[in-house]
Structure 1
Amino acid sequence: MSNANPLNIVMMGATGAVGSEVVAALRSEPGLGKLALLGRRELAGINQENIEQHCIDILNPESYQALLSGYQCAICTLGIGEPSKVDKQDFLRIDKQAVLDFATHCRQAGIEHFQLLSSVGVDAQSRSFYLRSKGELNEALLALNFKRLSLFQPSMIITPNNRYGFSQALTLALWPALSHIMVGPLRKFRGIAVEKLGTAIARNSQCKTSTGVEVLHWQEFMALDSSTD
């Protein structure tokens, strides 16, 4: 991407495992113009002149809607780390309503490209509360008619550290081996290293040629991660 046309990005969810990797990747992108990080707390170690941080109430759009003008792309990696450990209403407030509010106000502010960290298998008709809620969110985002909507749908996100106890430790140990037997249509269920996913989201934001709706899975993440464009 040419430095003559820098891309201004506003982001929500930068302090999470994936979000922090997205920021790390964006910081090295030559096409980045201004990056605004919106969240309940600041991301440590940020001292670049073109990156600004704003502490906001993610559940109250009035706390950030005035900050959305002048950006071409929005990235949202907001989400509860362990949905099964929280009340369903709390999950909906964060993972669905807060995200939709952010997207709605981004659209109203004239932002043309919205990127969302979602999940593989989301379906508004699913029997799974988690997948159904995420699917309903995707349908609501489609109705906003962004010029470009990028839906990242990873399966297991492999992090270097165990954040959630024994069950995650077991999954982190087994999933890399299981991924090798997932071929053909099953490739989208392969695990993805968190830094590779973050890089894929960052690099996808830099492409200005795509329009419409794109759903990205493991194979697209790997292609973007290996891209040097």
Structure 2
Amino acid sequence: MSQVLITGGTGLVGGNLLRMLLNEPRVNAITAPTRRPLADTVGIYNPHDPQLTDALAQVTDPVDIVFCCLGTTRREAGSKEAFIHADYTLVVDTALTGRRLGAQHMLVVSSMGANANSPFFYNRVKGEMEQALIAQNWPRLTIVRPSMLLGDRDKQRTNEKFLAPLFRLLPGNWKSIEARDVARAMLAEALAPGHEGVSILTSSELRERAK
């Protein structure tokens, strides 16, 4: 039986994953720190605080697996600094909390194109986040790099609205992927025996594992 910590549970991938965790018999405890409270749900411990780091500090029970599904865009965040805080600092804080609580496996949503040396700001921050987690020397670290995510958001992102039809037609890793498939693949990976060290799952691999 596994005890799970998840951040990003109010987002597109995280929301799907949280519902799957609730229905997974091999998971016996779910802790989901958030910035705004979740709807009351039996089976979820939900410390919440507008400063997610403060909500993470409230978590004291041991965990086995950490899921981080945090992610935004520079436009949504409002500034470069706010984007870095959401997609780098809070992800690292999630990982440090998991390490503090004894977790052996972390799974994190990154992005296709993540590269710490990229000339593109978004991809560079994602790559720097990945490097920071790798430097923590997790016994097992799974980085997932989906293409454009599909699914019902509370607030539709403008670029996704116009680009989604095109990305549905692209081949391989470029082809868009349903958020629920990313969540399904992450859960399967978390609960399956795996080798130690770092694994990177491309969008195509996520789609295959979701089947």
- What runs of 5+ residues in structure 1 fail to find an aligned partner? 1-5
Counterpart CA distance in 2 for 1:68 and 1:79 is 24
Q: 1:155 touches 1:192 (CA, 8 Å); kept in 2? A: yes
Alignment partner of 1:216: what SS?
strand
Change (3 A) 1:166 1:146: closer
Q: Does residue 45 of structure 2 align to residue 52 of structure 1?
A: yes
State the Cα RMSD in Å. Answer: 1.9
Q: Deviation at 1:43? A: 2.8
Q: Deviation at 1:218? A: 1.9
Change (3 A) 1:148 1:38: same
Q: 1:162 touches 1:168 (CA, 8 Å); kept in 2? A: no
* TM-score (normalizing by structure 2): 0.91
| From 37, 43, 49, the counterpart of 2:38 | 43
Counterpart CA distance in 2 for 1:58 and 1:150 is 26
2:75 equivalent in structure 1: 84
Q: Does residue 64 of structure 2 align to residue 72 of structure 1?
A: yes
Q: Deviation at 1:172? A: 2.0
Q: Deviation at 1:68? A: 4.3
Map 1:50-199 → 2, pairs under 5 A: 50-61=43-54, 63-80=55-72, 82-85=73-76, 86-160=78-152, 163-164=155-156, 166-177=158-169, 179=170, 182=171, 187-199=172-184
Q: 1:69 touches 1:110 (CA, 8 Å); kept in 2? A: no
Q: 1:58 touches 1:98 (CA, 8 Å); kept in 2? A: no
Counterpart CA distance in 2 for 1:160 and 1:57 is 24
Alignment partner of 2:10: what SS?
coil
* TM-score (normalizing by structure 1): 0.84
Q: 1:153 touches 1:215 (CA, 8 Å); kept in 2? A: yes
Alignment partner of 1:205: what SS?
helix
Q: Deviation at 1:121? A: 0.9
Alignment partner of 1:22: what SS?
helix
| Residues paired across the two proteins, number | 210
Counterpart CA distance in 2 for 1:68 and 1:36 is 10
Q: Deviation at 1:58? A: 4.0
Q: Deviation at 1:209? A: 3.2
Among the aligned pairs, what percent are the same residue? 25
Counterpart CA distance in 2 for 1:167 and 1:102 is 28
Q: Deviation at 1:208? A: 3.4
